[in-house]
């Protein structure tokens, strides 16, 4: 298998299936959260969460275990409904929307603990992501009308093209559950990309990967951003990854943002160091 070489700074051409509509890349932020918060039975799991993510930004969300990072993702994707605050996706309020509707508005995600459709083939997993874009009715599916073949062919090509990001075309026929761990993580990203998002949320994409796999993943995350012109927000504990590719980093502790800034600013921020390592003794 030929390894794809990622050239930094060079734009990879947009894939031919072109499921991504033209976007105004720099006009307005893709995601704006203001005063976002959620209580679980009196405990404020996330409070006063304010963040803005640009159209093609790679943003990192870090913090110690239990800080509320995944809760933020769950709020953004409407798995939880916020107690307070607003979330604007592409300028539109997501209040009262279901997870499926938010997905169609442009947010896709992966999961900390992999949640693939294990008994479906790799290709079908991706095709379920493509669900919104394939247009044929059930009757033409059963009777295999020409429209079905046309749409299926398009879906197949799109699926293969997306799988090619991670060199996974050869695995298309395998059951998702039978893939090795790293490949399952990559497939989750592909499946999320298939829903044509403008903001991709990655929940610990490098968890369980070895250093060389992590480096490859970093390259791929940047490549995905450059290919699809989308924003990516990721939760990660691997600081090399976060500091290496995130343009903006947000540090969460006990459900509150304690610092925001670039990698350098975060690394030198005493509040962040205290949250991770504890307070240094006087003297």
Partner 1 sequence: MTEFLNYLISGISLGSVYAIIALGYTMVYGIAKMLNFAHGDVIMVGGYVSFCAVFYLDLPGWLATILAIIVCTVLGVVIEGLAYKPLRQAGTLAVLITAIGVSYFLQNAAQLIWGTSTKSYASVMPGNLSLGGVTIPYISILTIAACLIIMVVLTQFINRSKLGKAMRACSEDKGAAQLMGIHVNRTISMTFAIGSALAAIAGVLLCSSYTTLNPTTGSMPGIKAFTAAVFGGIGSIPGAFLGGILLGVIESMAKAYLSSALANSIVFAVLIIVLLVRPAGLLGKYVPEKV
Where do contacts with partner 1 occur on this chain (CB under 8 A)?
A: 77, 79, 98-100, 103-104, 108-109, 111, 115-120, 124, 127-129, 131-132, 134, 136, 138, 141-142, 144, 148, 191-192, 195
| Residue 133 CB, nearest approach to partner 1 (Å) | 10
In 3D space, the residue among 134, 142, 180 whose CA is nearest the CA of residue 17 turns out to be 134
Would you say 140 or 256 has its CB closer to partner 1? 140
Cβ proximity to partner 1: between 120 and 183 the closer is 120
Q: Token pair of 165, please?
A: 């990001």
**101 versus 268: smaller Cβ distance to partner 1:** 101
Q: At which residue do the structure tokens 């998002």 appear?
A: 197
Output the smallest distance, CB 246 to partner 1, in A.
Answer: 23
Question: Closest separation between CB of residue 104 and partner 1, Å?
Answer: 5
Distances (CA, A) of 282 to 195, 277, 279: 52, 15, 9
d(CA 67, CA 72): 10
Supply the minimum distance, in Å, between the C-beta of residue 173 and partner 1.
14
In the complex with partner 1, which residue's Cβ is closer, 109 or 185? 109
Spatial distance between the Cα atoms of 59 and 269, rounded to a whole number of angstroms: 18
> At residue 264, what are phi and psi to the nearest 5 degrees?
-65, -45
Q: How far is the CB of 137 from partner 1 (least distance, A)?
A: 8
Torsion angle of alpha carbons 186, 29, 18, 187, nearest 10°?
10
User: Shortest Cβ distance from residue 80 to partner 1 (Å)?
Assistant: 12
Strands 43-53 and 84-89: unpaired
DSSP sequence for 23-50: --SSSS-SEEEEEEEEEETTEEEEEEEE
Shorter beta-carbon distance to partner 1: residue 83 or 147: 147
Token duo for residue 99: 């997870």
Question: Given the complex with partner 1, which of 59 and 107 has the nearer CB atom?
Answer: 107
Nearer to partner 1, 6 or 111 (CB): 111
Those residues whose C-beta lies under 8 Å from the C-beta of residue 63, and which sit 6 or more positions away, are 69, 251, 252, 253, 275
CA distance 281 to 260: 25
Q: How far is the CB of 76 from partner 1 (least distance, A)?
A: 11
Nearest distance from residue 134's CB to partner 1, in Å? 6
**Nearer Cβ to partner 1 (44/120):** 120
Per-residue DSSP letters for 84-121?
EEEEEETTEE-TT--HHHHHHHTEEE--SS----TTSB
State both tokens at 14: 């947009």
């Amino acid at each position: 298998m030929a390894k794809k070489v990622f050239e930094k700074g060079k734009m990879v051409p947009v894939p031919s299936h072109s499921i991504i509509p033209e976007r105004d890349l720099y006009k307005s932020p893709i995601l704006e959260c203001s005063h976002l918060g959620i209580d679980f039975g009196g405990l404020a799991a996330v409070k006063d969460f304010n963040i803005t993510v640009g159209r093609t930004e790679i943003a990192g969300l870090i913090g110690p275990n239990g800080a509320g990072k995944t809760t933020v993702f769950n709020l953004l994707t409407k798995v939880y409904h916020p107690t307070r605050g607003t979330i604007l996706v592409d300028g539109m309020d997501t209040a009262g929307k279901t997870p499926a509707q938010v997905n169609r508005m442009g947010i896709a995600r992966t999961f900390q603990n992999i949640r693939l459709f294990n008994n479906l083939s790799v290709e079908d997993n991706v095709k379920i992501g493509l669900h919104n874009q394939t247009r044929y009715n059930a009757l033409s599916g059963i009777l295999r009308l020409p429209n079905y073949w046309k749409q299926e062919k398009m879906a197949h090509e799109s699926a293969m093209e997306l799988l090619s990001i991670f060199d996974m075309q050869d695995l298309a026929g395998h059951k998702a559950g039978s893939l090795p761990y790293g490949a399952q993580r990559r497939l989750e990203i592909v499946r999320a990309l298939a829903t044509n998002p403008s903001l991709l949320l990655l929940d610990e994409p490098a968890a369980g990967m070895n250093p060389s796999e992590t480096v490859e993943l970093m390259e791929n995350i940047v490549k995905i951003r450059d290919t699809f012109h989308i924003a990516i927000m990721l939760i990660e504990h691997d600081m090399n990854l976060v500091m290496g590719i995130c343009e903006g980093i947000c540090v969460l502790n006990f459900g509150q943002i304690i610092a925001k800034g670039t990698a350098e600013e975060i690394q030198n921020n005493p509040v962040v160091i205290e949250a991770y390592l504890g307070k240094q003794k006087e003297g």
